[in-house]
A = this chain, B = another copy of it.
Amino acid sequence: MQRVLTEIRIAGFGGQGVILAAAVIGKAAAIFEGGYATMTQSFGPEARGGSSSAQVILSQEPILYPYVAQPDILVVMSQEAAARFTPQLKPGGILITEQELVRIDRYPAGVRVYGVPATRLAEEIGRKVVLNIVMTGFFGAVTGILSPESLRKAVADSVPPAMEKLNLAAFEKGYEYGSHLMVKLEANGNGNGAAELALESA
Protein backbone atom coordinates (compact mmCIF):
# COMPACT_ATOMS: atom_id res chain seq x y z
CA MET A 1 0.00 0.00 0.00
CA GLN A 2 1.28 3.42 -0.88
CA ARG A 3 -0.46 5.53 1.75
CA VAL A 4 -0.74 5.41 5.50
CA LEU A 5 -4.51 5.41 5.37
CA THR A 6 -6.85 4.77 2.45
CA GLU A 7 -10.59 5.10 2.90
CA ILE A 8 -12.84 3.26 0.49
CA ARG A 9 -16.60 3.04 0.12
CA ILE A 10 -18.36 0.45 -2.02
CA ALA A 11 -22.08 0.87 -2.59
CA GLY A 12 -24.85 -0.52 -4.72
CA PHE A 13 -28.04 -2.58 -4.62
CA GLY A 14 -28.56 -5.37 -2.14
CA GLY A 15 -27.63 -8.63 -3.92
CA GLN A 16 -24.75 -7.16 -5.95
CA GLY A 17 -22.18 -8.50 -3.50
CA VAL A 18 -20.97 -5.17 -2.13
CA ILE A 19 -19.96 -6.72 1.19
CA LEU A 20 -17.94 -9.53 -0.38
CA ALA A 21 -16.08 -7.05 -2.59
CA ALA A 22 -15.24 -4.99 0.50
CA ALA A 23 -14.10 -8.06 2.43
CA VAL A 24 -11.84 -9.14 -0.45
CA ILE A 25 -10.13 -5.73 -0.49
CA GLY A 26 -9.75 -5.74 3.30
CA LYS A 27 -8.29 -9.25 3.33
CA ALA A 28 -5.90 -8.51 0.47
CA ALA A 29 -4.47 -5.58 2.40
CA ALA A 30 -4.33 -7.09 5.86
CA ILE A 31 -3.82 -10.80 5.42
CA PHE A 32 -1.84 -10.90 2.19
CA GLU A 33 0.04 -7.58 2.36
CA GLY A 34 0.63 -7.44 6.10
CA GLY A 35 -1.28 -4.23 6.79
CA TYR A 36 -4.44 -3.54 8.74
CA ALA A 37 -7.99 -3.21 7.53
CA THR A 38 -11.50 -2.83 8.85
CA MET A 39 -14.77 -3.34 7.04
CA THR A 40 -17.90 -1.72 8.40
CA GLN A 41 -21.40 -2.31 7.16
CA SER A 42 -24.29 -0.20 8.37
CA PHE A 43 -27.78 -1.58 8.36
CA GLY A 44 -30.39 1.10 8.76
CA PRO A 45 -33.21 2.89 6.99
CA GLU A 46 -31.20 2.99 3.75
CA ALA A 47 -30.68 -0.79 3.80
CA ARG A 48 -34.45 -1.24 4.00
CA GLY A 49 -34.69 0.31 0.55
CA GLY A 50 -32.61 -2.50 -0.90
CA SER A 51 -29.34 -0.60 -1.06
CA SER A 52 -26.09 -1.86 0.36
CA SER A 53 -22.91 -0.07 1.36
CA ALA A 54 -19.65 -1.01 3.01
CA GLN A 55 -16.72 1.02 4.21
CA VAL A 56 -13.18 -0.31 4.13
CA ILE A 57 -10.16 1.34 5.68
CA LEU A 58 -6.68 0.13 4.73
CA SER A 59 -3.81 1.21 6.89
CA GLN A 60 -0.22 0.46 7.72
CA GLU A 61 -1.06 0.90 11.40
CA PRO A 62 -3.86 -0.41 13.63
CA ILE A 63 -7.07 1.47 12.91
CA LEU A 64 -8.62 3.31 15.84
CA TYR A 65 -11.69 4.76 14.21
CA PRO A 66 -13.25 2.67 11.45
CA TYR A 67 -15.70 5.19 9.99
CA VAL A 68 -15.17 6.74 6.60
CA ALA A 69 -16.14 10.39 6.33
CA GLN A 70 -14.68 11.32 2.94
CA PRO A 71 -13.57 8.31 0.93
CA ASP A 72 -10.41 8.43 -1.18
CA ILE A 73 -11.97 5.81 -3.43
CA LEU A 74 -15.68 5.34 -4.13
CA VAL A 75 -17.00 2.32 -6.02
CA VAL A 76 -20.66 2.60 -7.07
CA MET A 77 -22.83 -0.02 -8.70
CA SER A 78 -26.19 1.80 -8.66
CA GLN A 79 -27.47 5.25 -9.57
CA GLU A 80 -28.84 5.74 -6.08
CA ALA A 81 -25.46 4.95 -4.51
CA ALA A 82 -23.74 7.34 -6.92
CA ALA A 83 -26.18 10.15 -6.12
CA ARG A 84 -25.80 9.64 -2.40
CA PHE A 85 -22.06 9.14 -2.02
CA THR A 86 -20.34 11.00 -4.88
CA PRO A 87 -20.62 14.38 -3.11
CA GLN A 88 -18.62 12.93 -0.18
CA LEU A 89 -15.65 11.88 -2.30
CA LYS A 90 -12.34 13.51 -1.34
CA PRO A 91 -10.98 16.09 -3.81
CA GLY A 92 -8.42 14.25 -5.89
CA GLY A 93 -10.17 10.98 -5.17
CA ILE A 94 -11.07 8.12 -7.49
CA LEU A 95 -14.61 7.28 -8.57
CA ILE A 96 -15.20 3.81 -10.03
CA THR A 97 -18.57 3.10 -11.62
CA GLU A 98 -20.51 0.23 -13.13
CA GLN A 99 -20.85 2.28 -16.27
CA GLU A 100 -24.04 0.74 -17.62
CA LEU A 101 -25.86 1.15 -14.32
CA VAL A 102 -24.57 4.56 -13.30
CA ARG A 103 -24.67 7.84 -15.17
CA ILE A 104 -22.65 10.60 -13.54
CA ASP A 105 -23.73 14.12 -14.41
CA ARG A 106 -21.70 16.16 -11.95
CA TYR A 107 -18.32 15.25 -10.49
CA PRO A 108 -16.63 16.76 -7.47
CA ALA A 109 -13.65 18.83 -8.66
CA GLY A 110 -10.52 16.94 -9.64
CA VAL A 111 -11.94 13.47 -9.21
CA ARG A 112 -10.66 10.75 -11.53
CA VAL A 113 -13.49 8.63 -12.92
CA TYR A 114 -13.17 5.13 -14.34
CA GLY A 115 -16.12 3.13 -15.68
CA VAL A 116 -16.41 -0.59 -16.34
CA PRO A 117 -19.33 -2.58 -17.81
CA ALA A 118 -18.99 -5.11 -14.99
CA THR A 119 -22.43 -6.67 -15.31
CA ARG A 120 -21.88 -7.34 -19.02
CA LEU A 121 -18.38 -8.72 -18.42
CA ALA A 122 -19.78 -10.99 -15.69
CA GLU A 123 -22.46 -12.21 -18.07
CA GLU A 124 -19.76 -13.00 -20.64
CA ILE A 125 -18.24 -15.53 -18.27
CA GLY A 126 -21.67 -16.95 -17.62
CA ARG A 127 -22.74 -15.59 -14.24
CA LYS A 128 -24.03 -12.07 -13.66
CA VAL A 129 -23.67 -12.67 -9.92
CA VAL A 130 -19.87 -12.22 -10.06
CA LEU A 131 -20.10 -8.59 -11.15
CA ASN A 132 -18.78 -7.63 -7.72
CA ILE A 133 -15.55 -9.53 -8.33
CA VAL A 134 -15.25 -8.05 -11.83
CA MET A 135 -15.50 -4.65 -10.10
CA THR A 136 -12.83 -5.75 -7.60
CA GLY A 137 -10.45 -6.71 -10.42
CA PHE A 138 -11.08 -3.39 -12.13
CA PHE A 139 -10.52 -1.60 -8.82
CA GLY A 140 -7.17 -3.37 -8.50
CA ALA A 141 -6.02 -2.32 -11.97
CA VAL A 142 -7.04 1.35 -11.85
CA THR A 143 -6.07 2.16 -8.26
CA GLY A 144 -2.85 0.13 -8.08
CA ILE A 145 -2.95 0.27 -4.27
CA LEU A 146 -2.87 -3.51 -3.81
CA SER A 147 -1.01 -6.13 -5.79
CA PRO A 148 -3.15 -8.27 -8.10
CA GLU A 149 -1.62 -11.34 -6.46
CA SER A 150 -2.87 -10.31 -2.99
CA LEU A 151 -6.29 -9.59 -4.43
CA ARG A 152 -6.41 -12.98 -6.20
CA LYS A 153 -5.51 -14.76 -2.96
CA ALA A 154 -8.17 -12.80 -1.10
CA VAL A 155 -10.78 -13.73 -3.72
CA ALA A 156 -9.86 -17.41 -3.43
CA ASP A 157 -9.97 -17.13 0.37
CA SER A 158 -13.40 -15.49 0.41
CA VAL A 159 -15.58 -17.74 -1.73
CA PRO A 160 -16.63 -21.39 -1.38
CA PRO A 161 -14.18 -23.80 -3.11
CA ALA A 162 -16.75 -24.68 -5.78
CA MET A 163 -17.00 -21.01 -6.74
CA GLU A 164 -13.29 -20.23 -6.77
CA LYS A 165 -12.60 -20.77 -10.47
CA LEU A 166 -15.55 -18.65 -11.54
CA ASN A 167 -14.62 -15.82 -9.21
CA LEU A 168 -10.96 -15.83 -10.24
CA ALA A 169 -12.08 -15.65 -13.87
CA ALA A 170 -14.29 -12.68 -12.95
CA PHE A 171 -11.35 -11.02 -11.22
CA GLU A 172 -9.14 -11.41 -14.33
CA LYS A 173 -11.89 -10.06 -16.56
CA GLY A 174 -12.13 -6.86 -14.52
CA TYR A 175 -8.39 -6.57 -13.98
CA GLU A 176 -7.62 -6.89 -17.69
CA TYR A 177 -10.31 -4.41 -18.63
CA GLY A 178 -8.84 -1.93 -16.16
CA SER A 179 -5.24 -2.55 -17.27
CA HIS A 180 -6.14 -1.95 -20.91
CA LEU A 181 -7.97 1.23 -19.98
CA MET A 182 -4.97 2.55 -18.06
CA VAL A 183 -2.61 1.76 -20.96
CA LYS A 184 -4.96 3.55 -23.34
CA LEU A 185 -5.17 6.64 -21.13
CA GLU A 186 -1.39 6.65 -20.77
CA ALA A 187 -0.93 6.33 -24.56
CA ASN A 188 -3.21 9.32 -25.06
CA GLY A 189 -0.75 11.28 -23.00
CA ASN A 190 -3.17 11.65 -20.14
CA GLY A 191 -2.48 9.35 -17.28
CA ASN A 192 -4.75 11.80 -15.57
CA GLY A 193 -7.13 11.75 -18.48
CA ALA A 194 -10.10 10.75 -16.46
CA ALA A 195 -9.55 13.65 -14.11
CA GLU A 196 -9.51 16.07 -17.00
CA LEU A 197 -12.63 14.52 -18.42
CA ALA A 198 -14.25 14.90 -15.06
CA LEU A 199 -13.29 18.54 -14.83
CA GLU A 200 -14.52 19.17 -18.34
CA SER A 201 -17.90 17.69 -17.63
CA ALA A 202 -18.24 19.32 -14.19
Determine how many copies of this chain the complex contains: 2
Chain A, range 16-51, C-beta contacts under 8 Å to B: 19, 23, 26-27, 29-31, 36-44, 47-48
Bound-state CA distance A151–B1 (Å) is 39
Interface residues of A in 54-103 (CB under 8 A from B): 62-63, 65-67
On chain A, the number of residues with a Cβ less than 8 Å from chain B's Cβ atoms is 23
- Known A19-B23, A23-B19, A67-B66; contact A36-B40, beta-carbon cutoff 8 A: no
Q: Tell me whether B37 and A43 are in contact (CB under 8 A).
A: yes
User: In the complex, A38 Cα to B41 Cα: how many Å?
Assistant: 6
Q: Is the CB of B63 within 8 A of A47?
A: no
B63 touches A41 (CB 8 A): no
Bound together, the chains give a CA A23 to CA B47 distance in angstroms of 12
